[in-house]
């Protein structure tokens, strides 16, 4: 065969291979993008059942209501009683309960004031015998309550700790904190025996295997084996942050390490005017701040773990809890700014306030600031990313909601306006869709700012597994993410 022809065949062959690969990739992308919920509540007139994505009816349309419990399981009601059916029209939970919810993949059933639970395959594990069933930090252990007494059971229904305690908090799969006769006791849940040789007046939640305890009005820290890690001798003590715990005696503050050694002497003023027994919040693993806040001679500064002054004690207030890694907020007179971990000023002290109230431990890409009653956002170098032009600003993840002239829009963390400032309300992004409201009508817009579902509904809930519950003309129904409506009014 001539050389030119062989070369031509090779090119054709390679072209065919690339073409086939493209077809496979396209089909995979299409399959992913066209995945639909195939078990959707469907209303015909005033009666309910379930259908698939194409509105093919899967169950009888005889119920008073229908809703999704989880994928392929639906809650139905008839004559005031609730049950569960699956996508094969099989009864999972009989129509006999006053209420049904989902907890840790278990179907919780309620009869009057009592509750029990079923497995997702329809096996009744616990009859309606408890006043309350709540989840714990372990997916296979539940807290139960009867007559204001608490205990623990497994998700198989087996008793772990009898229902006899005034309060109970599961620490992990091995131990729990219980309250008995106004004393906090750490017990082994395998044998229900106390781990510690004594009980405490107060026992905080464990954080990184350490917990604050109180005994005879003095505080210390113990580990899960009840070894004393920080002596029980302080008037106040706080959870570890940046490897150090603040301790206070007679109004003087110092710092101890995780071995309980006082590594920074009690040479500082106690700067907290309020102290609560429950010092909530573990040391965030996502933060890598190297400095800790301190107060001396009525001025604030920051020191390193050796007690060296890094940010001088010159400021009228300070904060290190805003979630921005190695960034420290300082206040001078009435203005706020930020320094880095080397003591360098990175955001000038010109702003009226810095940071989101209430979410100080949530890391953010941008730093919210206010100046002359207008909000905007800076990056960590102090550069304006979202202009200081708005009456309010809040965030959800890396989306920044702004309000101007009573209308809301959304910026991303690059400073791009992804949703125009045209709406009365904007909900949190859920499954890449924002619920929007204007003139009391609801619709949906995607994360690129494209209007997907017109503003026509009187109510709209967030998308879950590709469907949303809506209200139109006084009747509820469900829609998918393309706006397809799953009802037929007769």
Report which of residues 78 and 199 the model is more confident about.
78
3-state secondary structure of 18: helix
Residue 208 has what pLDDT?
Answer: 84
Residue 323 has what pLDDT?
Answer: 62
**Which tokens belong to 45?**
């007139």
Least confident of 14-18, 44-48, 155-159: 14-18
Q: Is the pLDDT of residue 268 over 90?
A: yes
Mean pLDDT of 312-337: 87
Q: Where are the domains of the chain?
A: 1-35, 200-283, 424-490
Mean pLDDT of 460-486: 95
- For residue range 402-441, what is the model confidence (pLDDT) as tens digits? 999 999 999 999 999 999 999 999 998 999 999 999 999 9
- For residue range 277-287, what is the model confidence (pLDDT) as tens digits? 334 445 544 45
Residue 203 and residue 181: Cα distance in Å, rounded? 14
Report which of residues 108 and 203 the model is more confident about.
108
β-sheet bridge partners, residue 255: 246, 264
Burial zone of 394 (CB within 10 Å; 0-12 exposed, 13-18 middle, 19+ buried): middle
Residue 327 has what pLDDT?
Answer: 86
Residue 95 has what pLDDT?
Answer: 98
Q: Is the pLDDT of residue 4 over 70?
A: no
CATH code at 200-283: 2.20.25
Mean pLDDT of 9-18: 49
Mean pLDDT of 472-487: 96
* Residue 86 near residue 92 (C-beta atoms within 8 A): yes
Q: Is the pLDDT of residue 274 over 90?
A: no
Which residues contact residue 8 at a Cβ distance below 8 angstroms, ignoring those fewer than 6 apart?
A: none
322 band by pLDDT with thresholds 50, 70 and 90: low
- For residue range 364-396, what is the model confidence (pLDDT) as tens digits? 688 899 999 999 999 988 999 999 999 999 888
Residue 326 has what pLDDT?
Answer: 80
* Residue 186 near residue 174 (C-beta atoms within 8 A): no
Residue 254 and residue 294: Cα distance in Å, rounded? 9
3-state secondary structure of 447: coil
Question: Cα–Cα distances in Å, from 208 out to 174, 179, 211, 262?
Answer: 15, 22, 8, 20
**Which tokens belong to 453?**
């579902």
- For residue range 224-265, what is the model confidence (pLDDT) as tens digits? 999 999 999 999 998 887 788 999 999 999 999 989 999 999
Residue 33 has what pLDDT?
Answer: 39
Residue 342 and residue 344: Cα distance in Å, rounded? 6
3-state secondary structure of 15: helix
């Amino acid at each position: 065969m001539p050389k030119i022809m062989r070369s031509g065949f090779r090119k054709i062959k390679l072209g065919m291979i690339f073409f086939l690969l493209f077809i496979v990739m396209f089909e995979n992308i299409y399959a992913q993008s066209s995945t639909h919920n195939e078990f959707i509540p469907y209303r015909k007139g005033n009666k309910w059942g379930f259908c698939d994505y194409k509105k093919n009816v899967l169950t009888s349309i005889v119920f008073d209501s229908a809703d999704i419990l989880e994928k392929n399981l639906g809650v139905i009601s008839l004559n005031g009683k609730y049950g569960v059916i699956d996508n094969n029209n099989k009864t999972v939970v009989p129509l006999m309960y006053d209420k049904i919810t989902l907890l840790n993949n278990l179907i919780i059933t309620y009869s009057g004031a009592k509750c029990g639970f079923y497995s997702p395959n329809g096996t009744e594990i616990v009859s309606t015998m408890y006043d309350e069933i709540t989840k714990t930090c372990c997916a296979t252990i539940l807290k139960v309550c009867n007559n204001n007494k608490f205990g623990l059971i497994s998700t198989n229904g087996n008793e772990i700790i009898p229902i006899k305690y005034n309060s109970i908090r599961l620490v992990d799969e091995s131990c729990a904190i219980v309250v008995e006769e106004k004393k906090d006791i750490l017990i082994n849940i395998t044998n229900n025996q106390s781990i510690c040789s004594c009980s405490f007046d107060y026992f905080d939640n464990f954080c990184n295997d350490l917990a604050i305890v109180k005994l005879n009005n003095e505080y210390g820290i113990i580990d899960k084996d009840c070894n004393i890690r920080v002596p029980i001798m302080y008037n106040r003590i706080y959870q570890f942050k940046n490897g150090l715990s603040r301790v206070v005696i007679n109004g003087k503050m110092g710092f101890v390490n995780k071995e309980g050694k006082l590594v920074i002497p009690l040479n500082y003023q106690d700067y907290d005017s309020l102290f609560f027994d429950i010092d909530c919040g573990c040391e965030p693993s996502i933060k890598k701040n190297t400095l800790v806040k301190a107060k001396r001679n009525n001025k604030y500064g920051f020191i390193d773990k050796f007690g060296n002054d890094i940010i001088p004690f010159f400021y009228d207030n300070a904060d290190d809890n805003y979630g921005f890694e190695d960034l420290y907020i300082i206040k001078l007179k009435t203005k706020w700014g930020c320094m880095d971990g080397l003591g360098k000023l990175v955001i000038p002290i010109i702003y009226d306030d810095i940071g989101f109230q209430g979410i100080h431990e949530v890391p953010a890409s941008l730093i919210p600031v206010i100046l002359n009653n207008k909000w905007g956002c800076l990056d960590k170098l102090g550069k304006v990313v979202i202009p200081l032009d708005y009456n309010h600003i809040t965030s959800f993840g890396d989306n920044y909601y702004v309000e101007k002239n009573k209308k809301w829009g959304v910026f991303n963390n690059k400073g791009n306006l992804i949703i125009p400032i045209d709406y009365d309300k904007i909900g949190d992004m859920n499954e890449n869709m924002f619920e929007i409201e204007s003139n009391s009508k609801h619709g949906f817009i995607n994360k690129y700012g494209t209007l997907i579902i017109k503003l026509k509904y009187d109510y709209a809930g967030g998308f879950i597994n590709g469907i949303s519950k809506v209200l139109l003309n006084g009747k509820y129904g469900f829609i998918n993410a393309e706006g397809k409506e799953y009802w037929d009014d007769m």
